[in-house]
Amino acid sequence: LRCQEQLGVDARDCYVIGDAVWDLLAARRAGMLSVGLLSGGYGWDELTSAGAFRVYRDAADLHRSLDELGIV
């Protein structure tokens, strides 16, 4: 949140990447989009229920898919 505020970026334009449901719930509370990673031990259903916009196997899978998110 501090970075978002310092940069003057709208929360809706921010992504939170996390591998735990707590990361994704925090993103939702902050009004940010969240991306889940399965590498943290939580399953697809748990991450999407917590609000994940997309779920990827791990950071490498996410990196290969950045264009899908419109980040690159």
pTM for this prediction: 0.85
Question: pLDDT tens for residues 21-49?
Answer: 999 999 999 999 999 999 999 999 999 99
If one compares 11 and 68, the residue with the highest pLDDT of the two is 11
Number of domains in the chain: 1
Instruction: Give the domain extent around 41.
Output: 2-69
- pLDDT for the residue numbered 69: 81
- pLDDT for the residue numbered 68: 84
CA-CA-CA-CA dihedral for 4, 39, 44, 69, to nearest 10: 40
Rg (CA), the chain: 12
- pLDDT for the residue numbered 72: 60
Report the CATH number that the domain containing residue 62 is assigned in CATH: 3.40.50.1000
